Amino acid sequence: MTRISLTVDGQQVVDDVEPRMLLVQYLREKLGKTGTVVGCDTSNCGACTVHLDGRSVKSCNVLAVQADGAAVTTIEGLAGDDGTLHPVQEAFRECHGLQCGFCTPGMIMQTVDLLAENPSPSEEAIRLGLEGNLCRCTGYHNIVRAVQHAAGVSAGSTSSAGEGATA
């Protein structure tokens, strides 16, 4: 066992973990942060995306011991203490940027990172910025609209990457 100390959603956590435990397993199984979804276990789908020291990472590709000393934000940590949704969460709700909801936590976490880097992305930049996160239901149209809404970009003023393009 290895002792780790990290901050998860603003709360300091000290724990003993197996050195091979993945961050996604730690968050879900030890801390009950089940909003972080286990999708493919191969880092291909992005459903497990969280923020590690402010940057999005696929938590199925990070060992819990690698997060020692870091700050982790999960989808549960985005909302305010009073339950107020983060603006990106609100935009996904308003624009119905989800269907089954399985990919939504990872999409939202990646979107927050994308908008931190580029507060006013074009449609092409949005699709490129989300390409590591897969959605099997929506065709990405409403997801892109939700990102545009969160960024304050009107859907009609962006460049077109084509309806059939994947994110």
pLDDT digits (tens, 9 = 90+) for 84-135: 999 999 999 999 998 898 999 999 999 999 999 999 999 999 999 999 999 9
* 60 and 91 housed in the same domain: no
Q: Is 163 within the bounds of a domain?
A: no
* 73 and 10 housed in the same domain: yes
Q: Rounded to the nearest 5°, which phi and psi values hold at 159?
A: -75, 155
At residue 35 the predicted structure's pLDDT band, cuts being 50, 70 and 90, is very high
126 CB-contact burial (10 Å; exposed 0-12 / middle 13-18 / buried 19+): buried
Number of alpha carbons in the 13 Å side-chain half-sphere of residue 44: 4
Q: Which run of H or of E encompasses 5? A: strand 2-8
Structural domain including 19 reads 2-78
Does 162 or 71 have the greater pLDDT score?
Answer: 71
Does 139 or 3 have the greater pLDDT score?
Answer: 3
Q: Is 162 within the bounds of a domain?
A: no
- C-alpha 108 chain-centroid distance: 5
As for how many domains the chain has, the answer is: 2
Query: Of 26, 48, 78, which one is at a domain's C-terminal end?
Result: 78
* 106 and 52 housed in the same domain: no
Identity of the amino acid at 85: L
* 32 and 74 housed in the same domain: yes
* 126 and 144 housed in the same domain: yes
Q: Taking the alpha carbons of 98, 136, 114, 30 in that order, is the dihedral positive or negative? A: positive
Q: Is-contact 121 157, C-beta < 8 A?
A: no
Q: Which run of H or of E encompasses 24? A: helix 23-25
For the cut 90, the answer to whether the pLDDT of residue 42 exceeds it is no
Closest CA to 100 of 32, 59, 47: 47
* 68 and 110 housed in the same domain: no
Q: What is the mean pLDDT of the chain?
A: 90
Q: Is 166 within the bounds of a domain?
A: no
Please give the C-alpha separations between residue 89 and each of 4, 32, 70, 76, 108, in angstroms, as whole numbers: 30, 20, 24, 11, 7
Query: Of 22, 55, 78, which one is at a domain's C-terminal end?
Result: 78
For the cut 50, the answer to whether the pLDDT of residue 165 exceeds it is no
* 118 and 101 housed in the same domain: yes
| Predicted TM-score (pTM) above 0.85 | yes
Q: Which run of H or of E encompasses 92? A: helix 87-94
Q: Is 112 within the bounds of a domain?
A: yes
Query: Of 24, 55, 78, which one is at a domain's C-terminal end?
Result: 78
